[in-house]
Structure 1
Amino acid sequence: MSTVEVVDWSPHWAEQFDEVAAVLREALAGIESAAVEHVGSTSVPGLAAKPILDIDVIVDGDDVPAAITALESVAYVHRGDLGVTGREAFFAPGDPRRHVYVCTAGTTNVRNHLAVRDTLRTHDDLRDAYASVKLALAADPEMDIDTYIAGKSAVLQQVLEGSGEFTAEELATIHRLNEPGPDAVTKR
């Protein structure tokens, strides 16, 4: 069986996000710049996804240390940037399964996450094309996560181009980061 699980969209994901976000927002209450955003495929109604929430805590650069401390105060374990400048990863306590990142506002990584989410929420054709690719990849019993991520790259490039949020140079940089190999730093 494939090591990548992709399932039909569930409205329960929005409820789970709201519950997690309430805890995060309370912990971050003293950080004026903090915003908690549901990103990734689970944030797009109708999109098949791995059943893992992706959450970006977006803060001004000067507030990153305080945000890290705030998340640690509610049992999140800081993992470092995992090779992505401007993004600090965390192990999240308990359920639901989720990836949580403290991200510096305005970085390409944050803009990428928000642009993909917002474009897929408003362009059913791109959402459906992305879902089709994800489901086909996950159906391969030999699929591993790196091949899955690389296999989504072309359709994600179309989504990012469709967003109108990136220059050609930025799109090329994002594409290089999502190519398979030791330098790939996409979200997992």
Structure 2
Amino acid sequence: MTKPTVTIRDYNPKWVEKFTKERNRIIEVLGDKVVAIEHIGSTSIKGLAAKPIIDILVGIQKLEEIDQLVNPLKEIEYEYVLKPELKNRKFFRKGEWGKGTSHLHICEYDSREWIEKLLFRDYLRLHPEAAQEYEVLKKSLASVYKHDRQTYTKKKEPFIKNIVERAKKER
């Protein structure tokens, strides 16, 4: 199996349309299990270069309900990926391993996980200079860790945590 590469693309306004299409399909198969659904990640920040993968955050009442969601999501091509390191959310991928087109993050609505993901997104939307700084970091990491997506992701964590802390102070 070849390692997934990290490829950063210029912002594409079609990412919003792709999110809307996926959101509608997810709501169609999950119905009232969905409390809320949000477009997150770099593709949700207008003007920000990103890996061309749509990140979707789905808020549900209780994370224990996840087993009831696996088969309906499989019907629309989302594969549950067991990631034991993720304690407060569950992860689904659409597309081949390493070439996913959408990532689905499911957590409890209004949990710390939910709130912090939205704080990060909203801060970057409101602070173009921070979004620009994030883009520079991502491009730099992508050139160094082109064939090591795990390390690429790990190296972004301090920046993300810093932005979340800044956003909490501004609330």
* Maintained 8 Å contact 1:59/1:105: yes
**Shift of residue 142, structure 1, vs aligned partner:** 5.8
Counterpart-to-counterpart distance in 2, 1:22 and 1:96: 19
Coordinate RMSD, CA, aligned: 2.7
Q: Which has the higher contact order (CA 8 A, sep 6+)?
A: 2
* Maintained 8 Å contact 2:10/2:49: yes
The answer to whether 1:134 aligns with 2:148 is: no
Q: 117, 120, 125: which one pairs with 1:116?
A: 120
Report the counterpart of residue 56 of structure 1 in structure 2.
57
Total equivalences in the alignment: 164
Counterpart-to-counterpart distance in 2, 1:134 and 1:66: 35
Report the counterpart of residue 175 of structure 1 in structure 2.
none
Q: 91, 94, 111: which one pairs with 2:93?
A: 91
Report the counterpart of residue 167 of structure 2 in structure 1.
163
Higher helix share: 2
Counterpart-to-counterpart distance in 2, 1:132 and 1:93: 27
Partner deviation per Cα, 1:44-94 (whole Å, 9 max, x = no partner): 111111111111111111654443443234343323354212312223258
Provide TM-score, normalisation by structure 2: 0.81
The answer to whether 1:152 aligns with 2:156 is: yes
* Bigger mean CA offset, 48-57 vs 97-106: 97-106
* Maintained 8 Å contact 2:93/2:100: no
Percent of aligned pairs with the same amino acid: 29
* Maintained 8 Å contact 2:39/2:55: yes
The code of the aligned residue for 2:102 comes to: R
Which runs of 4 or more aligned residues in structure 1 lie more than 4 Å from their structure 2 counterparts after TM superposition?
A: 93-96
- Distance change >3 Å, CA 153–CA 102, structure 1 → 2: closer
Report the counterpart of residue 44 of structure 2 in structure 1.
43
Counterpart-to-counterpart distance in 1, 2:140 and 2:95: 31
